[in-house]
């Protein structure tokens, strides 16, 4: 079984350098192209995507729907309806607000702030200090709140879906947002047995040193791909509360998952960082790692539900599908996608007789 953790395509706010967490930013024309390229890539992947779990915000929903259409052989992607495989199970999509991006509070809809030449503080810190006493001020969603949402998603959606499809040659796609995905991955790690995580050699060859809790940012439509294989002994290597740090802050030990040449002891001794300000997404589509360093809040060991699985990380921030995908010139690629607009090719198609 495969799981793809996927970030949505490029949005208008990505291009404009605008904070968009719960704000329902729309995909650009280039973002739609990214989503469709990803959809076609996943259709030709190692196994079919049978279930798509998605954020209901339109940037994630449209990306998820592109994957759904390609899996089911519908038009709208490069895969035509005639390519549908009669013997292929139809994919389904489930949307849940648990996968919505971090709420940036008073930052929502505001531009990224540059560092002021008159202050040692970052632009966002200076802005925060200036406005935190304003009436109706709303702070940024906390790490604790995001951890709770991620745990609920795992308990209510992903873990049951994994068990229902155990042993099947099928994939699950989780389509969400950069910061939420980074937090979800860390919560996912806490559900795994101590020695169950391995990393594909091609990943370490391409990425170098890997710290499990900090795999880096998700590019637009970038994906993390992992393979889950059920193990006969569910208690083998199970991490219990005593193996986590005594103050309730812990990580899945990276030393058991990494080759000795890439082991980093710091991965298991992370300390909490500043939680008052959001990370700054980069306008090129990259999302900065939100918690560097971070806290992984404790999870009851017997409620994790994934202790009987081995996990192999196959791809980190996969972008193979974007090779050859070029942005349309003249600002068209960065413009808001309009479902009713005609593509350039449509102007040259001959009318059917």
- Indicate the annotated binding residues for substrate: 7-14, 59
d(CA 293, CA 344): 46
Tokens matching residue 319: 């972008």
The residue written with tokens 């790692």 in the block is 289
What tokens does 243 get? 């193996």
Q: Hunting for tokens 């890439």 — which residue is that?
A: 262
> How large is the greatest C-alpha to C-alpha distance in the chain, in angstroms?
75
Neighbours of 302 (CB within 10 A): 10
Question: Are 78 and 44 a contacting pair, CB within 8 Å?
Answer: no
Q: Give CA–CA dist 288/292, Å, rounded.
A: 9
Query: 8, 175 in Cβ contact below 8 A?
Result: yes
What is the number of other CB atoms lying within 10 angstroms of the CB of residue 277? 15
Q: Which helix (H) or strand (E) holds 129?
A: helix 123-131
32 alpha-carbon distance from chain centroid: 17
C-alpha triplet 230, 233, 234: angle, nearest 5°: 70
Task: Label residue 330 left, alpha or beta by phi (over 0 means left) and psi (-120 to 50 means alpha).
Answer: left
Instruction: Please check whether residue 70 is in contact with residue 88, taking contact to mean a CB–CB distance below 8 angstroms.
Output: no
| Lookup: tokens for 151 | 């745990």
3-class SS letters over 265-296: HHHHCCCCCCCCCCCCCCCCCCCCCCCCCCCC
Sheet strands side by side (includes 223-230)? 92-95, 49-54, 171-176, 2-7, 223-230, 309-318, 197-199
Instruction: Mark the binding-site residues, compressed into ranges.
Output: 7-14, 59
């Amino acid at each position: 079984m495969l799981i793809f953790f996927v970030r949505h395509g490029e949005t208008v706010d990505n291009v404009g350098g605008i904070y968009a967490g719960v704000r329902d930013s729309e995909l650009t024309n280039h973002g739609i192209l990214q989503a469709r390229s990803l959809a076609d890539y996943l259709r030709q992947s190692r196994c079919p995507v049978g279930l798509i779990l998605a954020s209901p915000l339109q940037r994630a929903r449209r990306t998820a729907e592109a994957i759904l259409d390609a899996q089911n052989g519908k038009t709208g992607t490069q895969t035509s309806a005639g390519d549908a495989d009669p013997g292929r199970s139809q994919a389904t999509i489930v949307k849940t607000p648990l996968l919505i991006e971090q709420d940036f509070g008073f930052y929502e809809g505001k531009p990224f702030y540059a560092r002021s030449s008159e202050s040692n503080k970052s632009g966002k810190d200076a802005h925060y200090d200036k406005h935190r006493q304003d009436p109706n001020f709303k702070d940024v969603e906390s790490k604790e709140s995001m951890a709770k949402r991620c745990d609920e998603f795992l308990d209510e959606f992903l873990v049951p879906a994994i068990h229902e499809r155990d042993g099947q040659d099928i994939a699950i796609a989780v389509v969400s947002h950069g910061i939420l995905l980074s937090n979800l991955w860390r919560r996912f790690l806490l559900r795994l047995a101590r020695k169950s995580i391995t990393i594909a050699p091609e990943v370490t060859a391409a990425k170098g040193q890997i710290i499990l809790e900090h795999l880096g940012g998700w590019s637009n439509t970038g994906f993390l791909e992992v393979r889950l294989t059920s193990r006969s002994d569910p208690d083998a290597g199970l991490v219990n509360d005593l193996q986590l740090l005594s103050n309730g802050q812990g990580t899945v030990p990276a030393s058991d998952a990494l080759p000795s040449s890439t082991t980093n002891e710091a991965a298991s001794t992370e300390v909490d960082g500043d939680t008052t300000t959001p990370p700054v997404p980069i306008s090129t589509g990259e999302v900065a790692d939100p918690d560097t360093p971070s806290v992984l809040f404790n999870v009851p060991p017997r409620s994790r539900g994934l202790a009987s699985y081995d996990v192999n990380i196959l791809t980190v921030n996969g972008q193979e599908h974007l090779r050859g995908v070029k942005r349309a010139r003249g600002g068209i690629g960065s413009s808001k996608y309009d479902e009713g607009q005609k593509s350039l090719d449509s102007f040259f198609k001959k009318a059917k007789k």
